[in-house]
């Protein structure tokens, strides 16, 4: 786990990497960037203002930097959640622009409470996993969960 403190914002950020046992094919896919990238975006009340602006800037950078041949999806969450796409999409110019348009229109987010458990459970129990695209999950939050 990596922990970093920002004096400017008086906040901590954490990164945790969990590596399950993976087969050689999956390891090769990861090296080539052939993954499914899921971005969980906290849009709860505590994220209003500068925090959601910073989270959306980071998300924009992530989306613009995804490798070709990868899949991705964005799941804004607060009291409820709804994935941007019903299934993760192959990363291309069209899907990237669709995601960037929604990120830019952050005023439409439904700010509410912070419930991370439901989207995480959905990811692990209900959203089908493509064995050719190992899943990588990013959580963008202020940590008030």
For residue range 101-122, list pLDDT tens digits in order: 988 887 777 778 888 999 999 8
Find out whether 29 and 70 touch, Cβ atoms under 8 Å. Answer: no
- 67 vs 114: CA distance, rounded Å: 30
- 125 vs 81: CA distance, rounded Å: 15
Q: Which of 83, 78, 79, 69 is nearest to 137 (CA)?
A: 83
Domains, the chain, ordered by start: 22-140 (3.40.50.410)
Residues in the chain: 145
Element (H, E) at 140: strand 135-140
For residue range 58-89, list pLDDT tens digits in order: 999 999 999 988 999 999 999 989 899 989 99
């Amino acid at each position: 786990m990596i922990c970093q403190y920002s004096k400017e914002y008086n906040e901590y950020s954490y990164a945790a990497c969990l590596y399950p046992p993976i087969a050689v094919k999956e390891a090769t896919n990861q090296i080539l960037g052939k993954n499914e990238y899921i971005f969980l975006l906290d849009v709860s009340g505590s994220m209003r203002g500068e925090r959601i602006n910073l989270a959306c800037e980071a998300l924009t950078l992530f989306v613009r930097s995804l490798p070709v041949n990868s899949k991705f999806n964005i799941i804004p969450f607060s009291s409820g959640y709804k994935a941007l796409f019903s299934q993760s999409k192959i990363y291309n110019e069209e899907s990237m622009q669709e995601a960037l348009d929604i990120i830019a229109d952050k005023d439409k987010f439904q700010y509410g409470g912070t419930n991370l458990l439901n989207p995480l459970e959905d990811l692990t129990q209900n959203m089908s996993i493509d064995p050719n695209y190992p899943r990588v999950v990013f959580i963008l939050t202020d940590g008030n969960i």
